[in-house]
Amino acid sequence: MLCSLTDAWAVLFPQFLELRHHGTNAILRDLHRLLHQLRHAIEIRHRSFETPAFVDLLREHDIAFVVADTARKWPAAEDVTSDFVYVRLHGDRKLYESGYTIAALERWAARIRAWSAARDVFVYFDNDIKVKAPRDAMRLADKLGVPWRPADDRFVATAPPRRSGPLRPERRRNPWPA
């Protein structure tokens, strides 16, 4: 099911945050209380969170465990702990930099199809250093049979016209609502 960007909220636990040093249950309880109208997900970066107890806490609080492809830099888990799955694709071989091969996108498409049979799935590409994310997202959407179009034509990137004279800054309307 396609959902609005505001239907889910992700929280990143940075790599220096260890499970044993923090009251994780209190953090999850507070997250749930503060953001009760949104579904939320946790992405981990420290191996101390790779425990059945942490997975059980996420299930207890109905928080998704982010499925993150981090080019094997940080922990990877595919535990389903909520009524939705939140996937972040940071790069297949090089973090934030490499794109995804057709074969890799096929593997992700198969997982997404399986998850989406029973729950909503959100997929975000974050391999944007070399501008791979848009192409990979469109290819994955095509494999899943999901139609793609810009959400708003004001944000479609186009090349600026060539100029023969000196460059002068143009006044442009701010596309973001005030």
Place of tokens 């507070």: 30
40-68 pLDDT per residue, tens: 888 888 888 889 998 998 998 888 999 99
Q: Which residues of the chain have pLDDT under 50?
A: 1-6, 21, 155-176, 178
Are 139 and 101 spatial neighbours (Cβ–Cβ below 8 Å)? no
What are the tokens at 63?
């928080």
* Prediction pTM value: 0.65
* Cβ neighbours for 43, distance < 8 A, ≥ 6 positions apart: 10, 11, 12, 13, 66, 68, 86, 88
Domains of the chain, earliest start first: 5-145 (3.20.20.410)
